[in-house]
Amino acid sequence: MTKLVKVLKLESGSQKDASQSRRRALVAGGAGFLGSHLCERLLRDGYDVVALDNFHTGKRYNLNALQRNPSFSCIEHDIVDALPSDLQCDEIYNLACPASPPHYQADPIHTFKTSVLGSLNLLELARQNKAKIFQASTSEVYGDPFVHPQPESYFGNVNTHGPRSCYDEGKRSAETLFFDYSRTYGLDIRVARIFNTYGRRMQPDDGRVVSNFIVQALRGEDLTVYGSGQQTRSFCYADDLSEGFIRLMNAPNAPAHP
């Protein structure tokens, strides 16, 4: 069921004419860690921003400061379900999926549906609105890679039936849908594969290395390093990642690959 957290203002007639210079961005997963940072950045850039979130892992308090901004609206909705029929947007950012193993493994079937059915719903919305659409993919599409570091051309080494597959294969399937919509309908798509991101509003229990280290340090505990200790990770600060999203979306030509 769709629930308005704040009344969504959709212009019509003369109201729309008066605001044509302002672009409207829809951020699916807008109450999440990365989504809330992206909403803030888009508002600073002069967008009207609509956040869409089911609040399964996104937090309402992430949006508290934004609710006072007249250019911001939020709809409580699960993108697995049919989207509200009156949504209008110029750009769509799909960040709507749990990203940490404890969260996406809690309901693996819904995680997979979010990546596949949710992407289909947003892609259809992009078709209706002739909007550009961005997919937040993941380094997990490479699975347990044999190649380090991974170039975008590497197809990965993915377990299709393990406990992480709901996320890994869901994101791979979403990429497939995005590129098929681009080839079939000429849709303007942008796909970015995200590695480890850290910053304000990370959940302390998300199970990722930066949050784990910080929580253990605050508790005066030893820092736990899993495996051999020889593994490497690529880290990016949340604000820098939002900058990357914006630059990719604003690039004059859509890249032909992630």
Residues labelled catalytic? 167
Q: How far apart are the first and last CA of the chain?
A: 33
Long-range contacts (CB closer than 8 Å, 24 or more residues apart) made by 20-25: 22/46, 22/47, 22/48, 22/71, 23/47, 23/48, 23/90, 23/91, 24/48, 24/49, 24/50, 24/88, 24/89, 24/90, 24/91, 25/49, 25/50, 25/89, 25/90, 25/91, 25/92, 25/93
Q: Which two tokens stand for residue 132?
A: 């550009």
CA-wise closest residue to 174 among 133, 208, 234, 131:
133
Helices (H), the chain: 14-18, 33-44, 101-104, 108-129, 165-185, 209-218, 238-250
